[in-house]
Amino acid sequence: MLKITVIGAGSWGTALAVILSKAGNQVKVLSLTKRNLISLRSGYHPNFEGLLLPKEVEFTQNVEYSLADRDIVIFAVSSKYLRPSIEVVKPFIKENQLLISVIKGLEPLTLLVPSQIIQEAFPHNSVAVLSGPSHAEEVIKEEPFGMQLASEDLRAVELIRKAFNKANVYLPATDDLIGTQLGGALKNIIAIGYGIALEQGLGTNFYSMLVTAGMSDLRNLAVAGGAAPETLMGLGGLGDLITTIGSPYSRNRKFGQLLGSGISVEKALQQVGMVVEGVNAMEGALELAQEKQVSIPVINFINNIIKKRISPTKMKGLVQLLKGTY
C-alpha cells in the first residue's frame, strides 16, 4: 500500500483519488479552498451527482498533515493555479517524495509546461507526468482507460504502475515529458474549434478536415517546442484529442459549442462552470509559435473567433484559409 496525496479537489483530482484508493492505496486529498469541503467529507462532489465517494478517501485543508509521510504527491490543480499551489505546499514537500503532474497547460511568457514548473521548485525530487484520454466522469466509475506515463526515472515508472496496479488502466511509458504535456495542452484548443463547427452543423467531412489540420498544427508546434514526433501519435497527443472532441464531458468542446451558438466568451465560460484549459493554453501556444516561427493556421483561426475578430458563423471559411497553407 502506497501513501498518496492529491493536491486539488476538483473533478480530476477527486476521480484519481477514488481509483487510487480502490486500488489499495492510502489516499488523502488536499483541498486548497474551503468550497465544498463539508460536502466532500460527507461523500459528495458537486460534479459527480448521485455518486457516493468512498469513505477511505480523506479530504483535508491541513497542508502539513496532508503531506507528511507520503510516497507520492500528485498536483491536480488548474494550470493557472500551479505556482500559487506550489508556494503553499513547498515547505512540506520532502526530497524522497515522487511528484506527479496531471495538469494540462502551457504557461504564457515562460512557455514552461507544468512538470518544468514543478521541477524548478523542487530540483531534488523525481517528477513524472500522467496525461491522456481520461475524463473524470468515466474514470471515477472505474471504466477502463489509458494515460501516457512520462518520466526519465525508471523507478518512478515502477512506483506509479504499482500504485495503479489494481486499477483498470493502461500506462505506456515514455521519457518525453515535454511532448506528453504539449500534446495534452494544445489538443484542448482544437477541441474548442471542433465544438464551434459542431454547433454550426458543418458536417462530418468538415469536422474531419478541421481535426486533421488541427493535429498538424499541434504536431508541428509541439515538435518545435521539443517534443518527439512519435509522442504526439500516442495517448498523450492523438488519443487525448480523440476523447476531447468526442466526449460529451469535454469542457473545451462544450465551450466551443456555446461560442458556436452565439453566446459570448464570458457567458460560455460561466455556463461551462469549470476550467476550460484550451482558453488558458491559447496565449502560450501563440507565443511559442511566434518564438519558433511555426505556422498554426487552425489555432490562429480559433483564437480569432475567441477574440471576436471572426464570427463563429464564419467557421466554414477555414477551408479557404487552408487552401493557401498546406
Q: Which three cell numbers stand for residue 226?
A: 521539443
Contact 318, 216 (CB under 8 A): no
**Any bridge partners for residue 113, and if so which?**
none
* CA atoms of 291 and 53, how far apart (whole Å): 45
Give the SS3 label for residue 271.
helix
* CA atoms of 312 and 261, how far apart (whole Å): 8
CB count within 10 Å of CB 186 equals 33
Nearest to 129 by CA among 32, 231, 221: 231
Residue type, 122: F
Give Cα 160 to chain centroid, integer Å: 18
Length of the chain: 326
Measured over the CA atoms of residue 162, residue 168, residue 172 and residue 175, the dihedral's sign is negative
- 206 phi and psi angles, rounded to 5 deg: -65, -40
* CA atoms of 259 and 197, how far apart (whole Å): 10
Q: Is position 187 annotated as part of the catalytic site?
A: yes
* CA atoms of 249 and 27, how far apart (whole Å): 25
State the catalytic residue, choosing from 28, 94, 141, 187.
187
Kindly list the catalytic residues. 187
